Structure 1
């Protein structure tokens, strides 16, 4: 047979029709088509190979993915290792796959990639199934991307819907499967994927939606999370709880179909209500920002927000929460009282600030910089400098005691005139507008007498008081005139807290400490801090001034502390500035210093009743009582301190006729030796103790005018001009 012709049923000996077309035989045609297909296949394969090779040059190297570090949150912990807050560009806490419960792994795999352990990067069956479903529905109802492809997309690519991206995605998936085990891929996925509400990774999602760590999740909670990556915003249970429930139940049904859970487990989970909760990671915002500012200088913002630092701090979360809650209520109640009394609203919100410091270490245990960080990030505890009023007076008395004055020494509480530098007169006044005659220093501080304090400062010298203030931890510039003694200088709450902590710590000034240690994301320690103490005062001086400040609380301007039920050793000082714009109370026990300021950001008169003893001291008592119950530790008494019972009027050794004598401390060898002549049977005139230094021309009244609560609701002596 002629293979060049096609069989038609005629004999081969017949002469061919010259006009007949020469049609190839079926056998020959088949061989020809096979050749065409082979050539076409090679062309297509070559083209595809060329395209893949071209795209291969564009995809990133995945061999080092094992060392990949996603953007991680910097975690800030309290003194007990509890999470306080996080700083992040992406809220993420990396966990090991062993920490992810099997039921959550199965929920994710059932929903996203049921053939995960069988395919090598992409799933041909899933692609065919998704194509059929999408065509039958006339829209995209199902995706075919494997977990490996999703990981590749999230790690290396954008979300543009192009053929080029899909090719790169497939190439990357193949490479990832080549270099990494399935467990490693699943771990990367669980830490990388976005779950909505700012949460990246399963741990952040668990805390964001259910207020717990990932290993604590239940089956219905796992199903909620497994549904989220498909549409994190739409399925967000906070925004769309009904839709989130619907999608949760879809996942539960899929898990049942796959044999991961039983129908009974599914039904129980479906009947479980959706309960949402956040594990609060934005506590103590002013303290956290204070920490962030310290970290910024060392590590920079990139490391802080993406590097996954672990920062261990001094914060006592329990104390912080108690203080924040009580301060918010207290300040709002105060504002309501002020506005009710004046009949008009304040022109601005009343604010408050607080610092709690452990005096033996300088550890900052609580910090409040304002009532609402979201409204105003300005930290009034650290950044604001306000006049301190009488809260500064203990520093004046510290300077005096350390330079030879005693608690029993007497100064005249009587009118005096000082010349201002411009030639005008300044007449310091007491809060009550009255004078008490001879006053021992113990009472001068306890009852916050302005005139006595100014006269004492005049005697020791302004420079001396400034020197002691700086030694005790105050770095702000200080007034260069006698108004210094009445608190005319603007000082931060943190500085004042440190100064009082120096007294509470027996004269050893603690450096304020907030960061204990910092570790990187692998656990390597980057820095470690211990307490730094500097000797600022003799122990005897610190103890004597502390004793004087105990009298402030026991019988002076801070007696509201006792009325509210706080018992045990405690010392402190109230403070109120001119025009009643700033109120202070700084109190301490042997174990804790708690400093409080209340006022307005822009000076505004709060009313005459709003003194430190009224506005701040009760809050101090409330916080301390709720946090600690009361004070049980005693202030340690130095070895060379002796106690003598003295008359609170004359300052001399108490006679049997002296009313309410008090045991007062003295450095051994400086105690009074003469008995009171003011209340003796033989005396008709006042003898003012061994301290013989009256102001010229001043006579003590025979019957000093007593103070009454009607004259001074807070028993606090405030007033006098603050310009000198």
Structure 2
């Protein structure tokens, strides 16, 4: 039986006519067409609504006890070993009575979310009809038409989706709630169940997070800010988006003035005030260990993505089986607390970081940390999943070297061009001088030392389309503009990437060429042991297994013999790639440091990626060159897994380290001789052919005593087994010949160095 309503509706000022606003000129329908369309809409809407209501009334959804007595069973989260990791208490609400909530806050919510709250019966037919007509006649986005009661129904009873059945159920639940409870009871339950903060429900929690005050202590400006949050708690989060929060707060103030709750003068005076937030976000104790808060936040995000919804987790009574590895998670957390693992603060700005670790054979998320622990806030920005940054050279295996090897035309010994390069005006440069073989380096060395010019040249050779298609199969995303510039070889992608995505992409190297998309949740079971979600774990083909094996060997060489040596983990084989992006303050050409630092790597059983940098790079927020660049995240990777893998078998990669062949392994070109021929006015060189017939020969000359003469430019390139160097200047010269395979551009033979004297 319906209870008697208590309380009286707040008096509203009489409505005046809205001032005319100038609209863009658009093609108008004749009036008779509008009348006919309106009638058709009204008839169809009435039929659909009536049929939907009759249909939905037969569905036994409404259980008032869910509103009166929230469930006492928590949602239990299990780690990868089946042990309880943490629990999520039902809704996590700090309940507060309606009479303790300021009138300004109640009025601001009603004026903004549901101005006819005290007059409607749980749904607003005028708002629904108006949104449909607006969409038809003005071709705009469908306007929201959800009432306060409807929002409450969605939070407590429904998963957040947009199906027709969902909409019908929401309306019917709203009607039933309105019949069963008084308006003040509904408003009370709304304030205690709805999200005013990204991941924590309830108005008291929001007051503590943003102002570190009890809700009863809030002033008008603070009430208006909170009243504007339910529409989009994250987008209007005042810590993350202060400008948007102020604009939204001021909308609430204008709505309050419009409907007579405050004067226009008071609204304008309050709009001029700053946000007046607490200096640091208040912490809401929910029983989740500090080391696990990012994993918990990621669970909420993933629950929404898979259609279960964070609200369902917070309602309690579920068992969530995850891939959480407590040892690696705790190690990541502890290492992120150590300032020595991050760039130094600059002018009061603190560097940030994010890390994610996966099981390459399952895609399971083992550990995640989304910020420095001292800056964490509930539902705040997660640098492991939300940041969009250039990956620098850590992208090279995914869009250059991986696809090149997968094409079958290249291997570790292939020589890549490494000289002056100008491609349509684009002139890449390298970060340091280095020796080459006739302006060429091996693919192995180009990757190990992260040279830029060979990567750009090779991407042009294989084609941007092919390179980025490989990256897309690995899970990276690219904009249309990325397919039109070779800078993508060096990490210039849009909008950017994050550690979770990079770890996911690298997992294909560590999983025989396929990847299983990264995920935290394996299974969700109700308290009645009904499975409501099961991860599919279907593998996605990225590359041939032989390509993956070759890349593992090459990336191992990066750590064993290249610039990623600080990523080594005692007792475990490690492969990986560093990356960084230069910070170049406009209009200077000189870079005083880096904007982004990366390491992406893996052991046989764990793959991870780490990003470090400042949230907004600038002249007072960059990583100086003296800090050591991408050595920082490489070392952090080592520190995390050194502790995180204690007591575990190291395992071995099937692929050996792909190192440069030793001189004894490279076939020796036999019979190399040379002498000065006065009649020919030059040095005549000859040698015996190598067994590979598809070769050409590069001839190098150096000064007396020079032993690395292949670092010089070649003086000849021939297919026959002889060459005459036209030279008469007296002196002693050194010569060497190198045989190159025509198809792979790999070195297939070298001669010894000989001395020839002229004069």
Aligned to 1:636: 654
Aligned to 1:468: 470
Structure 1 window deviating more from structure 2 (71-80 vs 410-419): it is: 71-80
**Contact 1:450–1:486 at 8 Å: present in 2 too?**
yes
Q: 1:687 aligns with which of 738, 751, 756?
A: 738
User: Take 2:616 and 2:547, find their aligned partners in 1: how far apart are those partners?
Assistant: 37
After TM superposition, give the deviation of residue 293 of structure 1 in Å: 2.3
**Contact 1:390–1:486 at 8 Å: present in 2 too?**
yes
After TM superposition, give the deviation of residue 318 of structure 1 in Å: 1.6
Q: How does 1:133-152 map onto structure 2 within 5 Å?
A: none
Q: What SS is found at the alignment partner of 2:623?
A: coil
* Alignment of 1:289 onto 2:303: no
After TM superposition, give the deviation of residue 433 of structure 1 in Å: 4.8
**Contact 1:462–1:482 at 8 Å: present in 2 too?**
yes
Q: How does 1:267-346 map onto structure 2 within 5 Å?
A: 280-281=288-289, 283-296=291-304, 298-300=307-309, 302-329=311-338, 332-334=339-341, 338-339=344-345, 345-346=346-347
Aligned to 2:430: 430
After TM superposition, give the deviation of residue 91 of structure 1 in Å: 7.3
Q: Name structure 2 gaps, 5 residues minimum.
A: 4-62, 95-284, 584-593, 671-690, 701-706, 710-720, 722-733, 746-752, 754-759
Distance change (3 Å), C-alpha of 1:446 and 1:79: same
**Contact 1:74–1:87 at 8 Å: present in 2 too?**
yes
After TM superposition, give the deviation of residue 294 of structure 1 in Å: 2.6
Distance change (3 Å), C-alpha of 1:677 and 1:645: farther
Structure 1 window deviating more from structure 2 (646-655 vs 410-419): it is: 646-655
Q: Give the length in aligned residue pairs.
A: 423
User: Take 1:533 and 1:368, find their aligned partners in 2: how far apart are those partners?
Assistant: 25
List per-residue Cα deviations over 1:493-547 (Å, max 9, x = no partner). Answer: 2221111100111101211121111111333322222422122211100110111
After TM superposition, give the deviation of residue 651 of structure 1 in Å: 10
User: Take 2:521 and 2:314, find their aligned partners in 1: how far apart are those partners?
Assistant: 17
Q: 1:551 aligns with which of 553, 557, 564?
A: 557
**Contact 1:652–1:676 at 8 Å: present in 2 too?**
no
Q: 2:453 aligns with which of 447, 451, 454?
A: 451
Q: How does 1:13-52 map onto structure 2 within 5 Å?
A: none
Aligned to 2:364: 363
User: Take 1:90 and 1:418, find their aligned partners in 2: how far apart are those partners?
Assistant: 58
**Contact 1:408–1:652 at 8 Å: present in 2 too?**
no
Aligned to 1:414: 419
List per-residue Cα deviations over 1:208-230 (Å, max 9, x = no partner). Answer: xxxxxxxxxxxxxxxxxxxxxxx
Distance change (3 Å), C-alpha of 1:677 and 1:593: farther
Q: What SS is found at the alignment partner of 1:391?
A: helix
After TM superposition, give the deviation of residue 429 of structure 1 in Å: 1.1
User: Take 2:665 and 2:469, find their aligned partners in 1: how far apart are those partners?
Assistant: 28
User: Take 1:90 and 1:680, find their aligned partners in 2: how far apart are those partners?
Assistant: 69
Distance change (3 Å), C-alpha of 1:554 and 1:72: same
Q: What SS is found at the alignment partner of 2:624?
A: coil
**Contact 2:391–2:596 at 8 Å: present in 1 too?**
yes
Say what the alpha-carbon RMSD is for the aligned residues: 4.2
Aligned to 1:660: none
**Contact 2:303–2:309 at 8 Å: present in 1 too?**
yes
User: Take 2:401 and 2:429, find their aligned partners in 1: how far apart are those partners?
Assistant: 18
List per-residue Cα deviations over 1:30-71 (Å, max 9, x = no partner). Answer: xxxxxxxxxxxxxxxxxxxxxxxxx9xxxxxx9x99x98734
**Contact 1:408–1:651 at 8 Å: present in 2 too?**
no
Q: Show structure 1 runs of 4+ deviating over 6 A.
A: 648-651, 669-683
Q: 1:380 aligns with which of 383, 389, 400?
A: 383
Q: How does 1:41-440 map onto structure 2 within 5 Å?
A: 70-80=71-81, 81-90=83-92, 280-281=288-289, 283-296=291-304, 298-300=307-309, 302-329=311-338, 332-334=339-341, 338-339=344-345, 345-371=346-372, 372-374=375-377, 377-395=380-398, 396-403=400-407, 404-419=409-424, 425-433=425-433, 436=436, 437-440=439-442
After TM superposition, give the deviation of residue 426 of structure 1 in Å: 2.8
Distance change (3 Å), C-alpha of 1:279 and 1:450: same
**Contact 1:362–1:510 at 8 Å: present in 2 too?**
yes
Aligned to 2:247: none
User: Take 1:506 and 1:400, find their aligned partners in 2: how far apart are those partners?
Assistant: 17
* Alignment of 1:510 onto 2:516: yes
Structure 1 window deviating more from structure 2 (536-545 vs 553-562): it is: 553-562
List per-residue Cα deviations over 1:326-371 (Å, max 9, x = no partner). Answer: 1221xx2255x635xxxxx345221110010011110110011111
After TM superposition, give the deviation of residue 570 of structure 1 in Å: 1.4
Q: What SS is found at the alignment partner of 1:689?
A: strand
After TM superposition, give the deviation of residue 684 of structure 1 in Å: 2.0
User: Take 1:285 and 1:87, find their aligned partners in 2: how far apart are those partners?
Assistant: 14
List per-residue Cα deviations over 1:369-423 (Å, max 9, x = no partner). Answer: 111322771111111110010001112101111112111111232111222xxxx
Larger Rg, first or second structure (1 or 2): 1
Aligned to 1:574: 578
**Contact 1:549–1:571 at 8 Å: present in 2 too?**
yes
Q: What SS is found at the alignment partner of 2:615?
A: coil
**Contact 1:73–1:90 at 8 Å: present in 2 too?**
no
**Contact 1:583–1:611 at 8 Å: present in 2 too?**
no
* Alignment of 1:592 onto 2:606: yes
After TM superposition, give the deviation of residue 86 of structure 1 in Å: 1.3
List per-residue Cα deviations over 1:116-158 (Å, max 9, x = no partner). Answer: xxxxxxxxxxxxxxxxxxxxxxxxxxxxxxxxxxxxxxxxxxx
Distance change (3 Å), C-alpha of 1:307 and 1:692: closer
Distance change (3 Å), C-alpha of 1:672 and 1:632: farther
* Alignment of 1:525 onto 2:531: yes
User: Take 1:549 and 1:651, find their aligned partners in 2: how far apart are those partners?
Assistant: 21
After TM superposition, give the deviation of residue 685 of structure 1 in Å: 3.4
After TM superposition, give the deviation of residue 577 of structure 1 in Å: 0.5
After TM superposition, give the deviation of residue 585 of structure 1 in Å: 0.5
**Contact 2:554–2:659 at 8 Å: present in 1 too?**
no
Aligned to 1:174: none
Distance change (3 Å), C-alpha of 1:364 and 1:673: farther
Aligned to 2:501: 495
Distance change (3 Å), C-alpha of 1:645 and 1:319: closer
**Contact 1:652–1:689 at 8 Å: present in 2 too?**
no
Q: What SS is found at the alignment partner of 1:574?
A: strand
Distance change (3 Å), C-alpha of 1:78 and 1:493: same
Normalised by the length of structure 2, the TM-score is 0.50
Q: What SS is found at the alignment partner of 1:590?
A: coil
User: Take 1:587 and 1:309, find their aligned partners in 2: how far apart are those partners?
Assistant: 35
Q: What SS is found at the alignment partner of 2:76?
A: strand
